[in-house]
Amino acid sequence: MSNARSRAEQQRDLQLRRRRERRLLTAVAAGLVLLVVAGGVLLQTWRTHRTPSAATHSSAGFAPVSVEPGKPLLLGKAGAPVKITLYEDFHCPHCADFEEKLGPVITEQQNSGTVVVELFPMAFIDEGSLAASNAMACAAENGFGQSYYLGLFANHTLQWNQSQLIDLATRTAGGSRGRFDSCVTTGAHASWVDSINAAAQSAGVDSTPTMFLDGNPVDVGRLTPDTLRTMISEAAAK
- Beta strand pairing call for 82-89 and 115-122: parallel
Q: Average pLDDT for residues 201-230, to the nearest whole number?
A: 97
Q: Where are the alpha helices (DSSP H) in 2-86?
A: 2-49
Please check the confidence at residue 194 and state whether its pLDDT lies above 90.
Answer: yes
- Split at pLDDT 50, 70, 90, the class of 8 is low
Determine if residue 214 is left, alpha or beta; phi over 0 gives left, psi from -120 to 50 gives alpha, anything else beta: left
* DSSP H helix total and E strand total for the chain: 8, 5
Q: Average pLDDT for residues 205-230, to the nearest whole number?
A: 97
Please check the confidence at residue 47 and state whether its pLDDT lies above 50.
Answer: no
**Same domain assignment for residues 18 and 59:** no
Cα 98 to Cα 92: distance, rounded to the nearest angstrom: 10
**Same domain assignment for residues 37 and 113:** no
Query: Which range marks the domain in which residue 136 is found?
Result: 55-237
pLDDT of residue 27: 62
Q: What's 203's domain CATH number?
A: 3.40.30.10
**Same domain assignment for residues 146 and 181:** yes
81-132 tens-digit pLDDT:
999 999 999 999 999 999 999 999 999 999 999 999 999 999 999 999 999 9
Q: Average pLDDT for residues 187-195, to the nearest whole number?
A: 98
Cα 172 to Cα 150: distance, rounded to the nearest angstrom: 9
pLDDT of residue 59: 62
pLDDT of residue 236: 97
pLDDT of residue 178: 86
**Same domain assignment for residues 40 and 64:** no
Counting the structural domains of the chain, the total is: 2
Please check the confidence at residue 17 and state whether its pLDDT lies above 70.
Answer: yes
131-190 tens-digit pLDDT:
999 999 999 999 999 999 999 999 999 999 999 999 999 988 877 788 999 999 999 999
**Same domain assignment for residues 103 and 149:** yes
**Same domain assignment for residues 2 and 68:** no
Q: Which of 9-18, 42-51, 118-127 has the highest mean pLDDT?
A: 118-127
**Same domain assignment for residues 141 and 99:** yes
**Same domain assignment for residues 190 and 73:** yes
- Domain endpoint, select from 49, 73, 89: 49
**Same domain assignment for residues 120 and 142:** yes
pLDDT of residue 39: 42
**Same domain assignment for residues 60 and 41:** no
Q: Structure pTM?
A: 0.78
57-88 tens-digit pLDDT:
566 678 899 999 999 999 999 899 999 999 99
**Same domain assignment for residues 77 and 188:** yes
The total of other beta-carbon atoms located within 10 Å of residue 210's CB is: 21
**Same domain assignment for residues 25 and 122:** no
- Split at pLDDT 50, 70, 90, the class of 30 is low
